[in-house]
Structure formats: C-alpha cells, structure tokens
Amino acid sequence: MIGDLGARDATALAELVAAGEVTPTELLDAALAAVEARNPVINAVVLMQEDVARRAIASGLPQGPFRGVPFLLKDLGCEAVDFPSHNGSRLLADTRYDRDSAIYARIRATGVVTFGRTTSPEGGIGAATEAAVYGGPTRNPWNTDHTSGGSSGGAGAAVAAGIVAFAHGSDGGGSVRIPASSCGLFGFKPTRARLPDGPYVGEGWAGMAIDGFLTRSVRDTAVMLDACAGADPGAPYVAPALLRSHADAISRPPRRLRVMICDTTFTGAPIHPEVRAAVHQAGRMLESLGHHVEPGRPQADVPMMMRAWTDIVGVGTALGVRRALKGRAMADLVEGVSRGAVAHAEGLHPTRYLEAVGEIHAFGRQMAVVFENGPDIILSACLAEPPARVGRFSHETEDYLGYRIGPGGIFEYSPFCAVFNASGQPAASLPLGWSAEDLPIGVHLAARFGADEELIALCAELERAAPWAAIRAPMAGAARR
C-alpha cells in the first residue's frame, strides 16, 4: 500500500479519504512506515509527534481540502504548540511555543495530519541542509552523495522520497525553490506578504522571507496557497489582491505571454551546460505552446542586492543568536557560518541595516521596471549547476561573506532565486530538466509583483505539456525517468 499511495499527490489522497477508500489512520501508518524505511538514509524527518497526529484523527479532522493527508512542518518557523522545534540549531533545541502561528493554524484547517518536522540548516542560511543538531547531513533521494538543497532541504527530501505527498517550507533566498530544483519537485514562492508571518515574526528578513510548500503537483500548491493566503491581524503590509484564486487560475491556460529567456546568470556569467540546455528546452516548450520567447537579461544591480541581502541576513542571524544565548558560550552551541554572520553583523556601521533595506527596495523598483518595459515572464535556471555534493556547503567555515558571496559560494551556485526574494515578485521552480547523472534540474519562472495567478497558471500549463508526476526517485518506489 505504501508504494501505491506514494504514487499520488495530496489532492488524490484526499479524494481517496473522502470516498472512503482509505482512512486517515491508514495514510498515517503508511507515512510512518516510509519514515522508518527511508529516513535513516536521507535524514529528513525529525521531532516526530505520532501521538499528536493520532489524537488529531481521533478528535475529528477539519473538513478541509486535504482532510486526512499526512503532512510535515519545516523545522524553522511555522510555530505550533504541539510541535516543538530545534529551528536547525543546537542553540534553539526543543523550543516550545505557547500559541500557534497564523500559517500553521491555516495549514491545520485544511485537514492535514501533521506528524513531525523536517530538517533545515541553522538560521536558514545556505543552499544545503547539514545542521549539527540533526546528527548529520540531509541527503538527496535521487543520489545520496548529493544535497537535497536548503533551507527546506528536509521537506524536499521527504517529498521526493515518497514519505509524504507534500510538506511545508519557507523561502528567504530560494529555500523552497532550491530544494524543489534539487529534488525534482514543484516549488512556488508567492508575492511578498501573500502569506501571514505573525504573530511571532513581523516580517522575515526585511520582507524577503515567506512560507511555501514542496509539492509534486501544481494543483497541491495552488489549493494550499488559497487556504493559507491573506494577512494576519496587525501585519505591516499586505500583498495585492488576486484577481482569482490560484485553484481557479490553473483550471485554464493563461494568455499568451512574452517570455525573456536568460541562459546565463543575471550578471552574464555562464552556467553549467546541462542546466543551460534545460533552460533552452523549456524555452522551446513555451514557444510550442504559443508564447513569445526572446533572449534577454534583466537590467538590475544584482551585486548590490546580493551584498544587501547578505548584510540583512547577517544582522537577523546576530539578533536571533544574541537573544537566545542568555550568557551561554556561542562556540558550544552555534555553527561556524552563524558565528561568522554574528561577527560580520557586529562589524557593520549602525546605519548599515537601514541602508541595506533601502538598497533592497531600490532593487525591487529596478526589477519592477524590467517587467513594465518588457516581458511578462523571466525564464532562467533555478541553480547554476546540478545539485551539489554533500559537504560542499558545510557550515563549518566562519567566513560568512565568503560562504555567501565569495568565489564558489552560495550566490554563485544559486544566483537566481534571491533576486525575487529581494524584489518580492512571485517565482517558481519546475522539474523540467535532468542531468546526465539523473539528477533533477529545476527551471525557474518569475512574474511581475502580484501576478501570482498568471505565473501559477503558466506552471500548470507546462505541467500538462510535460507531466513530471511519474518521474520519481527510485527510493520512492518508482523507476527513474
């Protein structure tokens, strides 16, 4: 039964529950069995709360769109009373919460059966998930020598391994889209403030971070976004209203769109040839669907944005670490990159944070002009190369700047995603490419600020043109592509 159920997306599983063909308890048992069988290899699922899940089923699940479907929360944010968190760090191990976050309350109302959390790197810094608090790296189900990505690396690995059909993630610099690209999944970052941050956070990383989901189908993401969208009370700002729901948007193709295809980085640097080939293949597919595709490169100050992003995240890391230390020794509880981020932040001029926020806002305006004067969609790679090997982005180094923006660092590996966290524009990674070693390659699409429904409609059109649901890691009980 595990293999059969693992071949379905969350929407299909919910339909089985609604039809009485399977019970929520049977689905939970299947997910727990998959954890037992597969998690020792990939190290993705942590902080299991089986009793909480069984009590939720016994007490009666909400009549939401995913009633009875097993679900996992990222172990970073998504605060929930019943789900303690390490937040990827020994410093914050076993943190408990006195109330549920708005995003978790909305997730729970969909009827999912949440039974644990998934691994994340300390502080959410990085494109790999190898936090010491979990006792080892999280590995890619397609090839365990490679990373599943970060910072929602555990979520991506759990879904790709067939443990759950979908999982919660979050994205402050690509942290949903990078694991989606690395694990052969769909990952969508909504427009800034589309989903709630409160009450524990006013805004994540100056508004650059937002929650999201790792899914195998566009429809699962669309329905979950509809269930969770909207500001929570007291939110500092809200996203533009959607013209129609995400679920309605994917029910029919979008208008024919102008697509800018970029087969380099946005600064003109070359990318891996297999990744470049995947971008061109996606461009040809869009042309075959009637969209107008032209080469180009967005004219915006990406290096300025990257340095501002790095400084803002460094300050945010320092704030979190200093607040949690409470007189304890940092070296015993905080990993190298985070210690480096603290040192970097404390060396900045006191006015630098606001200056960096201003630069991010200026960059957002530059990107808005790109869409106003040209394309409806920007097509690029998600990562500049196939998934990295485990250990390449270890947090042992204290060279925070080098880790982020130095030669061979995170921004060279992932030069596209953070652009749209800074601009606040919606963006998605689609599993449309594969390396010669059968590693997934994500293709990245982005749209103008607020145009979430048009972007997700395009994603659904591409999914229909090149279905990827049957292409799954061998660990998930399916043959390779």
Three-state SS string over 311-325 comes to HHHHHHHHHHHHHHH
In the set 175, 181, 429, 435, the catalytic residue is: 175
In the set 89, 151, 414, 423, the catalytic residue is: 151
> In 10 A of CB 231, how many CB atoms?
17
The one-letter amino acid at 461: E
CB-CB contact of 377 with 458 (8 Å): yes
CB-CB contact of 75 with 171 (8 Å): no
- The single residue listed with the structure tokens 């494109």 is 127
> In 10 A of CB 267, how many CB atoms?
13
Query: pTM of the prediction?
Result: 0.98
Tokens read off for 424? 């606040």
Domains in the chain with CATH codes: 2-476 (3.90.1300.10)
| Closest C-alpha among 97, 321, 79 to residue 211 | 79
Check residue 480 and give its pLDDT.
Answer: 52
**Beta partners for 188?**
428
Cis peptide before 423 (omega within 30 of 0): no
Q: Is 74 a catalytic residue?
A: yes
Backbone conformation region of residue 91, classed left if phi is above 0, alpha if psi is from -120 to 50, else beta: alpha
pLDDT per position in the chain (481 positions), as tens? Answer: 445 567 899 999 999 999 999 999 999 999 999 999 999 999 999 999 999 999 999 999 999 999 999 999 999 999 999 999 999 999 999 999 999 999 999 999 999 999 999 999 999 998 999 999 999 999 999 999 999 999 999 999 999 999 999 999 999 999 999 999 999 999 999 999 999 999 999 999 999 999 999 999 999 999 999 999 999 999 999 999 999 999 999 999 999 999 999 999 999 999 999 999 999 999 999 999 999 999 999 999 999 999 999 999 999 999 999 999 998 999 989 999 999 999 999 999 999 999 999 999 999 999 999 999 889 999 999 999 999 999 999 999 999 999 999 999 999 999 999 999 999 999 999 999 999 999 999 999 999 999 999 999 999 999 999 999 999 998 887 545 5
Check residue 476 and give its pLDDT.
Answer: 86
The one-letter amino acid at 189: K
CA distance 56 to 51: 9
Q: Is 326 a catalytic residue?
A: no
- The single residue listed with the structure tokens 């049977």 is 26
Give percent helix, percent strand, percent coil of the chain, each to the nearest 5. 40, 15, 45
What's 256's DSSP letter? P
